[in-house]
């Protein structure tokens, strides 16, 4: 994607270069050290290599400082191979456990990747800053694309629901949940932005993914309070009206 000189490249906040992530040396190190996750008061979990197994206890060497500690075998969680680093959908993880999920989210977040799928869900971590991934150019990138064809994004979720509404003529719902300050309101705004853009530009646009008797008019309505937001996206056809609803709860 082209971008103006001096502006940040939005693709660095969306795409992961798998060739860079998967390093054969890292894979060899993971195999040789038998790396696992162990509990940590400071980090929640941290990487460690298994040195010796003693019945129900295991002697491990912490990767961060080389300190050796004895851990109960039940407290150890398996670590995924390096090729799963920054994976876009955590349902693909070979070892699906708390430590691996938290590490993947953290690893992606510190790389500027705030959206991550977990099966049908999309996990969003508030960056507390503006990212260049909400422009009309980005909307067009996601428009008409299936979810697995593009990196995780609120636009991909919106596009999926929008297409299902048009093609299946059924109501769709997106629920945004999280603690205060998690970004529910901002992501709800992005849903509205996406729907308003694709709906307003639908007229006169040739799209082979939309049935011939596709909707001829669009209605967008939003209402709510600080604790909840309801967005109704109505598509009017000659036969009936379909509603798109996005709900945000505290």
18-109 falls under which CATH superfamily?
Myosin S1 fragment, N-terminal (2.30.30.360)
Whole-number mean pLDDT of the chain?
A: 81
Query: Is 40 flagged in the annotation as binding?
Result: no
182 labeled binding residue: yes
- Residue 185, annotated ligand binder? yes
Model confidence band, residue 245 (pLDDT cutoffs 50, 70, 90): very low
* % of the chain at pLDDT higher than 70: 78
CATH class (in words) of the domain with range 134-248: alpha beta
CA distance linking residue 128 with residue 114, whole number of Å: 11
Establish whether 183 is an annotated binding residue: yes
Per the annotation, does 177 bind a ligand? no
**pLDDT greater than 50 at residue 87:** yes
119 carries a ligand binding annotation = no
pLDDT of residue 240: 29
pLDDT of residue 46: 96
248 annotated as ligand-binding:
no
Distances (CA, A) of 110 to 75, 135, 184: 26, 22, 20
Q: What is the pLDDT of residue 3?
A: 54
Range(s) of the chain covered by CATH 3.40.850.10: 134-248
d(CA 210, CA 205): 10
pTM over 0.75: yes
Element (H, E) at 217: strand 217-224
pLDDT score at 202: 58
The verdict on whether residue 173 carries a ligand-binding annotation is no
Question: Is a pLDDT exceeding 50 seen at residue 196?
Answer: yes
- pLDDT number for residue 171: 75
Residue limits of CATH 2.30.30.360 in the chain? 18-109
Confidence check: pLDDT of 58 > 70? yes
Residue 164 confidence (pLDDT) above 70: yes
């Amino acid at each position: 994607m082209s971008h103006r000189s001096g502006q940040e490249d939005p693709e660095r906040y969306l795409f992961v270069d798998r060739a860079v992530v998967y390093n054969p040396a890292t894979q060899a190190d993971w195999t040789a050290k038998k790396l696992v996750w162990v509990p940590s008061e400071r980090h929640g979990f941290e990487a460690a290599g298994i040195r010796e197994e003693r019945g129900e206890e295991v002697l491990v060497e912490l990767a961060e400082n080389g300190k050796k500690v004895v851990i109960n075998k039940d407290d150890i969680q398996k670590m995924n191979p390096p090729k799963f680093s920054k994976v876009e959908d955590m349902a693909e993880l070979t070892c699906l456990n708390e430590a691996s999920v938290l590490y993947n989210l953290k690893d992606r977040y510190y790389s500027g990747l705030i959206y991550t799928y977990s099966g049908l869900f999309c996990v969003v971590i508030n960056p507390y800053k503006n990212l260049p991934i909400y422009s009309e150019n980005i909307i067009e990138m996601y428009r008409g694309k299936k979810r697995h064809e593009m990196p995780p994004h609120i636009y991909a979720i919106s596009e999926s629901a929008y297409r299902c509404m048009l093609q299946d003529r059924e109501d769709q719902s997106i629920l945004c949940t999280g603690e205060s300050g998690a970004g529910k309101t901002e992501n709800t705004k992005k849903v509205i932005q996406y729907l308003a853009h694709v709906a307003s530009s639908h007229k006169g646009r040739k799209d082979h993914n939309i049935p011939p008797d596709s909707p001829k008019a669009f209605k967008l309505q939003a209402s709510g309070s600080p604790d909840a937001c309801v967005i109704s996206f109505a598509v009017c056809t000659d036969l009936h009206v379909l509603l798109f609803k996005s709900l945000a709860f505290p």
